[in-house]
Structure 1
């Protein structure tokens, strides 16, 4: 790998669920080494009410998705009950490009995306008529439901993953200047509980996606080296590249 590439000599550690790790080839193309240690896992939340809830979707004017995980869980439910995605006739709002792409991969179009990929901006910009249903994860805050008056359907749950803790600890102490990327407050909390007792915050640099994740880090007196205005993993890496080219 050429030492002239902007991330040459840098180790980027990804802690989010497997979906966010599709950024690895982009990091490697810019000279960085990627290590993946998910601290959280997302899994569909199965309920006896799922079939009924699916049949009620078209009673709404809008469905709201804020993550790829919600899309995946929704599609799993459609598949399990043999419901074609083409039967979903209501409009769809998303928060983020990846969520929109995930929908499109499954034959579902989106009709609204906020200018900034956050729930706060979504509720400011999403003006709609009729009824809306927010398909959420188990740890989602009430920002969207409260902000736009949407009903809620919890379609997946986020659970801590401890299987990579030891390997992550070994990677952190082996690298000279590792950069850990947090994509959610949940990952920050697990890191704080499991890793910090073994390795102090100050020996590692951090990058974050979104102001809510940055706020979770700030509770421990830590500021990220980058938190781009655009809330995507690619924007994080682009910002790291920009910072390196300034040096």
Structure 2
């Protein structure tokens, strides 16, 4: 583990964290991982199975994260549902990473908002009046945008297909985090911030001298609600935006 003053703390789920760590370290930026959340498929699949049994009624499926794509198609595969039998079904995705995940599986995205947020998607997605929209998501995802879809005349159906849970960090890892000379702390979800606050009390003392970077507006909103100062918000709202924020900060400090 590297502990110099430029070290980045990654709080994403383990698999995603390893990917981000690899990108950071390829750019010479040391990091350590402390996954604050873990993801798991819901035990009761009856609600999503019920919708899959009437998938022909849906006009759109909206995915707000790569994880929603991954879990949805895990269910699709287990249920042997063939979406290509429904050529009029369209897909909308929030963000380039979500779009890429969908394309990896073999489906084309019909709409991606200019800004990578669900709110902007809901405000700008086309031809939705009177349309039925399936939204597979997590138990903790921000659902404020659903009202926008309804106000625009759509009929959204939100189904929880995976759980976003606290990941209890072992004492050894927590002690390493507390003793490390961290400079940046990255958050990619509000739930990661909640878990972080619960596990690193008093969080205010721990954050002294460190830069907090969030992936986007909804994550920043949670941070501010919990009295955590956000130093940088990723632009674009992706891992690339997080890395760019770190690199720009390093450049600014050198000038």
Secondary structure in structure 2 of the residue aligned to 1:141: coil
- CA gap of 1:167–1:101, structure 2 versus 1, over 3 A, is farther
- Alignment equivalent of 2:228, drawn from 212, 222, 238: 222
The aligned counterpart of 2:202 is 197
Q: Does 1:184 align with 2:207?
A: no
**What is the CA–CA distance in structure 2 between the aligned matches of 1:195 and 1:168, rounded to whole Å?**
11
Where structure 1 has 5 or more consecutive residues not aligned to the other structure, the ranges are 1-7
The aligned counterpart of 1:11 is 7
The aligned counterpart of 1:114 is 113
- CA gap of 1:166–1:203, structure 2 versus 1, over 3 A, is farther
Number of aligned residue pairs: give it: 239
TM-score norm. by structure 1 comes to 0.88
Alignment of 1:16-27 (within 5 A): 16-21=12-17, 22-27=19-24
The aligned counterpart of 1:82 is 80
Secondary structure in structure 1 of the residue aligned to 2:100: helix
C-alpha displacement of 1:127: 2.6
User: C-alpha root-mean-square deviation of aligned residues, in Å?
Assistant: 2.0
C-alpha displacement of 1:60: 0.8
Secondary structure in structure 2 of the residue aligned to 1:35: strand
For residues 109-167 of structure 1, give each alpha carbon's deviation from its aligned partner in whole angstroms, at most 9, with x where no partner exists.
110011111122122211323221111211123323211121212111111110x2534
Contact 1:183 / 1:210 at 8 angstroms: preserved in 2? yes
**What is the CA–CA distance in structure 2 between the aligned matches of 1:83 and 1:53, rounded to whole Å?**
11
Secondary structure in structure 2 of the residue aligned to 1:200: helix
C-alpha displacement of 1:55: 2.6
Give the stretch that moved more between structures: 231-240 or 128-137: 128-137
**What is the CA–CA distance in structure 1 between the aligned matches of 2:142 and 2:185, rounded to whole Å?**
24
**What is the CA–CA distance in structure 2 between the aligned matches of 1:138 and 1:52, rounded to whole Å?**
18
- CA gap of 1:41–1:131, structure 2 versus 1, over 3 A, is same
Q: Does 1:206 align with 2:212?
A: yes
Secondary structure in structure 2 of the residue aligned to 1:142: coil
Contact 2:142 / 2:218 at 8 angstroms: preserved in 1? no
For residues 59-98 of structure 1, give each alpha carbon's deviation from its aligned partner in whole angstroms, at most 9, with x where no partner exists.
1111000011111111111111122353353000010111
- CA gap of 1:11–1:88, structure 2 versus 1, over 3 A, is farther
TM-score norm. by structure 2 comes to 0.85
**What is the CA–CA distance in structure 2 between the aligned matches of 1:225 and 1:88, rounded to whole Å?**
45
Q: Does 1:138 align with 2:134?
A: no
Contact 2:5 / 2:182 at 8 angstroms: preserved in 1? no
For residues 182-231 of structure 1, give each alpha carbon's deviation from its aligned partner in whole angstroms, at most 9, with x where no partner exists.
10111111111110237533253321111121121122333222112311
**What is the CA–CA distance in structure 2 between the aligned matches of 1:177 and 1:190, rounded to whole Å?**
18
Secondary structure in structure 1 of the residue aligned to 2:53: helix
The aligned counterpart of 2:180 is 175
